[in-house]
Structure 1
């Protein structure tokens, strides 16, 4: 029998704009840090959060996934989502380094190891439905960029579609656990790439090359293409205009350390 008292916090609708899931996650995390959502407290139901924040279920699910990746909450099957006691986190970055260019490069290095294996498995296990889904995600990304957007959500969905084609729940779980940090690094790389047309063309070509290798069932080529995509992302960060880091870069990198305890 669960004797935990129901959570009484009420949330206001969030401000329309980009990164709605981050706004929801930030609001929930603030309640946790302030102690208004104590360890063991149950979060409102998904339906209740949708109503209070005035967002979609997808946004709420992404926000809760982010809180899980930060180790702030945990799901109990058939019961709900509960606040966890925050202990040691293996992803314990130093705040000064994570707002730097080097921190973003290091996170892309983590992505390189994961994305290469995911692409290789996807090439071995993909179905025609997977190919269509990956191709559609590329089209949506290109459309978002052409419309003047940063393409972050579409880029994340592209890599998610490849991960789903790999059909390895442990890899998908690892990517979800790292989701907050991967998304933070993606924001920085996308913002940098959007500043130069040649960067944007390179990214589009690299995405297409990965898809073609997966479609051909060539695991070695898929791994190589995915690793090269991450290598090139690092090169593009290294080639970024210094003004980018003085302006948008550092600010965009801040979510990499959101909610993490200081290094002891």
Structure 2
């Protein structure tokens, strides 16, 4: 008899976020109303305010609430019931380092393949987004996620729709992860944006040379740099810490054919 898969146990912030979401669906908090304070919610559920903050961030990422600094948390819309399956998928228990490991394994090989497959238009688009990011950094403009766009354009330059959709799926997981979003605040300062842009320039240079191995190494190193930066801001003793995944030796260390 075939065994049924057991869904992973939800984390505290997910349980609290789901409970608050259900209260909104039930009409306990109408659109435009302000939710109870973090302190009140923390006392109600017997958890820390940090966990409450993650739960509220999860709801904000879903577009259900708006967190206004110094004012409170306001209900923006009533969630539809048909959203539950998609939310369950993108709020599944996948840690930020597990997502990053998947990106490193996948995107390094995509970069190598793109070194063979990218068209002149692809190269021009990648160059344009780096120039756009350079201007944005100079103006301290954070309105556009040029980092994400660069990685999606690179995946698209493989000319393989399945690879592009896979990378898009990983980014949607990251966008829906409160832990990843919390980490972004540390790794998207001006200094780090300059660092990532330098990494991206190295990747693009390899693509322009049609250097397959160089593109693979440049992407691998870029995500390795991101990993080290994330580890600096992580609490290794936290129950949700999954940075131990990177203690293993990279699967691929030889030369691409």
Q: TM-score, normalised by structure 1?
A: 0.53
Q: Name 1:108's counterpart in structure 2.
A: 100
Structure 2: where are the runs of 5+ without partners?
Answer: 1-30, 32-58, 65-75, 241-257
Which of 26, 30, 46 aligns to 2:63? It is 26
Q: Name 1:232's counterpart in structure 2.
A: 225
User: Counterparts of 1:177 and 1:29 in 2: how far apart (Å)?
Assistant: 25
Q: Does 1:219 align with 2:212?
A: yes
Structure 1 pair 196–178 and aligned structure 2 pair: CA distance change class (3 A): closer
Q: 8 Å contact 2:174–2:180 — kept in the other structure?
A: yes
Deviation at 1:220, TM superposition (A): 1.2
Q: Alpha carbon RMSD of aligned pairs, Å? A: 3.6
Which of 116, 120, 124 aligns to 2:112? It is 120
Which of 155, 167, 171 aligns to 1:163? It is 155
Q: 8 Å contact 1:111–1:182 — kept in the other structure?
A: no
Superposed CA deviations along residues 108-149 of structure 1, whole A, max 9, x for unmatched, are 111111211211111110111111100111111222222223
Alignment of 1:143-222 (within 5 A): 143-150=135-142, 153-183=145-175, 184=177, 187-188=181-182, 190-195=184-189, 197=191, 199-222=192-215
Structure 1 pair 128–29 and aligned structure 2 pair: CA distance change class (3 A): farther
User: Counterparts of 1:188 and 1:206 in 2: how far apart (Å)?
Assistant: 22
User: Counterparts of 1:148 and 1:226 in 2: how far apart (Å)?
Assistant: 25
User: Counterparts of 1:145 and 1:157 in 2: how far apart (Å)?
Assistant: 15
Q: Name 1:72's counterpart in structure 2.
A: 86
Between Structure 1 and Structure 2, how many residues are aligned?
Answer: 168
User: Counterparts of 2:181 and 2:193 in 1: how far apart (Å)?
Assistant: 14
Structure 1: where are the runs of 5+ without partners?
Answer: 1-11, 13-21, 38-66, 74-85, 243-249, 251-264
User: Counterparts of 2:61 and 2:183 in 1: how far apart (Å)?
Assistant: 23
Deviation at 1:177, TM superposition (A): 2.4
User: Counterparts of 1:115 and 1:220 in 2: how far apart (Å)?
Assistant: 13
Deviation at 1:233, TM superposition (A): 0.1
SS in structure 2 of the partner of residue 191 of structure 1: helix
Q: TM-score, normalised by structure 2?
A: 0.54
Superposed CA deviations along residues 28-85 of structure 1, whole A, max 9, x for unmatched, are 99522xx3x5xxxxxxxxxxxxxxxxxxxxxxxxxxxxx7xx8539xxxxxxxxxxxx
User: Counterparts of 1:29 and 1:71 in 2: how far apart (Å)?
Assistant: 18
